[in-house]
């Protein structure tokens, strides 16, 4: 058994854990509302970071989406790190799979298409993680 088998298992484990850490950071800094808050208002008297207390007034701008959690610093830095690391891991996994199929069988169009698709998805993940758009005030 090779140690390379750990790589495909560690990809979802690290990325899912990382996304939850980004959400926890955004929640701690009051950049998003908690997941269990299902009462969103049209408007609030004060912005979410200025509110104090156990009950928060949340608008639809504070819904905890993955991209919303990774928009503002400091969680945007960690979000970018998770996306870049995940993208690199995807590139390595796809390349190892491509080489494994060539070694065990012959090369085919489907194998080359899977390599291309995996690298395109990896490039998309790098773009999502490193080119974040901040909302206008």
Judge whether 101 and 16 are in contact, CB under 8 Å: no
Query: What pTM does this model have?
Result: 0.82
CB-based contacts of 30, cutoff 8 Å, min separation 6: 48, 49, 51, 56
pLDDT tens for each residue of the chain, 137 residues long: 577 889 999 999 999 999 999 999 999 998 888 888 767 766 677 777 677 766 677 777 788 888 888 888 899 999 999 999 999 999 999 999 999 999 988 888 999 999 999 999 999 999 988 887 766 55
């Amino acid at each position: 058994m090779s140690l390379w088998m750990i790589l495909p298992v560690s990809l979802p484990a690290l990325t899912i854990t990382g996304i939850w850490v980004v959400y926890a950071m955004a929640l701690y800094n009051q950049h998003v509302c908690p997941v269990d808050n299902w009462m969103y208002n049209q408007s609030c008297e004060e912005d979410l970071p200025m509110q104090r207390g156990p009950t928060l007034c949340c608008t639809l701008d504070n819904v905890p989406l993955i991209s919303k959690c990774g928009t503002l610093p400091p969680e945007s830095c960690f979000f970018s790190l998770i996306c870049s690391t995940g993208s690199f891991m995807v590139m390595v996994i796809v390349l190892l799979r491509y080489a494994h199929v060539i070694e065990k069988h012959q090369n085919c169009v489907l194998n080359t298409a899977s390599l291309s698709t995996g690298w395109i998805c990896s490039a998309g993940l790098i773009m999502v993680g490193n080119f974040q758009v901040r909302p206008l005030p």
